[in-house]
Amino acid sequence: MAMGQKSLSVAALAIGATALVFSLPAVAQVYKGKQIRMIIASGAGGGYDAYARILQRYLEKHIDGNPTIVNQNMPGASGMLAMNWAFNAAPKDGTVILATYNALLAEPLYGNPSVQYDPLKFELIGSFSKQQNICVTWNTSPIKSVLQAKDREVIVSSTGATGNSATMPKILNTVLGTKFKVVMGYGTTEARLAVEKGEVEGICGLSWSTLKASNPDWVQNKRINILVQTGAKAQADLPDVPVLLDLVNDPENKAIIKLLGFPEDMGRPFVMPPGTPKEMVAAVRRGFDAALKDPLLKQEAEKQLLEVDPVTGAEMEQILKEAYSQPKDLVKKASQFVTSEGR
């Protein structure tokens, strides 16, 4: 190499190294001395609240600049209040993270008139875990498989027409020919108590990860028959429970089930308002991914029986784009299984 070319190469390397040195502190300064509000779209004490609060404690450590993060519950309209606020009124300066319900990311797809947001425009940070659902009967029930639920009526409890506990039985009845009869009007806890008391025979549309934390005795003492699970594949600790998709042969029904199930793949999502500076989004994403790998977070989550099965922001983006690009006729057919307030 000629002396002139060698000098230029060395100079270029020196300039590049200098730029890198100066860029790293700049990234770290983005959140230095700042405070972030973790808005939780549910009331205190629920599953989403528990996941958000454990994340907050470790996210502070892993975001460059170590900002302070404070929790703020914003319940209302099944989380819609917080979603609409985050999209339209929240500061777009990187000081807001929203812990929201995965189902709310699907509501615009089905034309809910209460929606004032576009899920594709949120900055997607990641999810703590997936949230696949199960359908169960009590251990005393003779209905111990989903195929047996085709033989006679099986009464199941539900919180109301808007929840998974009403939607999942409807899907099973339509695509598998089961005979679930839904009794609505229970509270979340009361719906499970009704199963224990024998008021109903079971409940469908339960989050497996939530159930393990809220009713561990059901799992540990084998007090339930798990008939079927949703999702693309069996969960690691339910290897012998049939997956709904595997039981359906009709291609269109398979496509409908996959579309209806996409929120579960995003589990317990965290987002930031649209328009948040990209460097701040990138810093929070890096911090989120690192926090979910933190051994101390995993230990604390295990003690609280909270499942850690993270989904990255990039993976969430892909899931949303695929769902919102489905043919209109397929979306229309899927919407028949979804009933929301105000629709």
The residues with which 135 forms a beta bridge, in sequence order, are: 204, 228
DSSP three-state, residue 39: strand
- The reported pLDDT for the residue numbered 96 is 98
Which two tokens mark 268? 């317990």
Q: How confident is the model at residue 162 (pLDDT cuts 50, 70, 90)?
A: low
Is the Cα torsion angle 193, 161, 206, 146 positive or negative in sign?
positive
Q: How confident is the model at residue 295 (pLDDT cuts 50, 70, 90)?
A: very high
- HSE toward the beta carbon, residue 343, CA cutoff 13 A: 16
Residue pair 196/222 in contact (Cβ under 8 Å)? The answer is: no
Higher model confidence: residue 30 or residue 156? 156
Q: How far apart are CA 191 and CA 184, in angstroms?
A: 9
DSSP 248-266: ---HHHHHHHHHHTHHHHH
Q: How many degrees, rounded to 5, is the angle at CA 293 between CA 260 and CA 98? A: 50
Residue pair 138/144 in contact (Cβ under 8 Å)? The answer is: no
When the candidates are 2.40.50.140, 3.40.50.300, 1.10.3720.10, 3.40.190.150, the CATH number that belongs to 31-129+267-335 is 3.40.190.150
Segment 239-273, tens digit of pLDDT: 999 999 999 999 999 999 999 999 999 999 999 99
Give percent above pLDDT 70 in the chain. Answer: 90
The reply to whether domains 31-129+267-335 and 133-262 share a CATH topology is yes
Q: How confident is the model at residue 7 (pLDDT cuts 50, 70, 90)?
A: very low
Segment 76-110, tens digit of pLDDT: 888 899 999 999 999 999 999 999 999 899 999 99
Q: In the chain, helix, strand, coil percent, each to 5?
A: 50, 15, 35
Instruction: Please count the other Cβ atoms lying within 10 Å of the Cβ belonging to residue 175.
Output: 20
DSSP three-state, residue 200: coil
Does 133-262 carry CATH code 3.40.190.10? Answer: yes
Segment 191-242, tens digit of pLDDT: 999 999 999 999 999 989 888 888 999 999 999 999 999 988 898 899 999 9
Which two tokens mark 166? 């009403």
Per-chain mean pLDDT for the chain = 89
Q: Which of 3-17, 21-35, 244-258 is most confident?
A: 244-258
Task: Quickly tell me which residue has 């299984």 as its tokens.
Answer: 337
DSSP three-state, residue 228: strand
- The reported pLDDT for the residue numbered 164 is 83
Domain ranges of the chain: 31-129+267-335, 133-262
Q: How far apart are CA 151 and CA 143, in angstroms?
A: 9
Strands 224-229 and 96-99: unpaired
Residue pair 189/165 in contact (Cβ under 8 Å)? The answer is: no
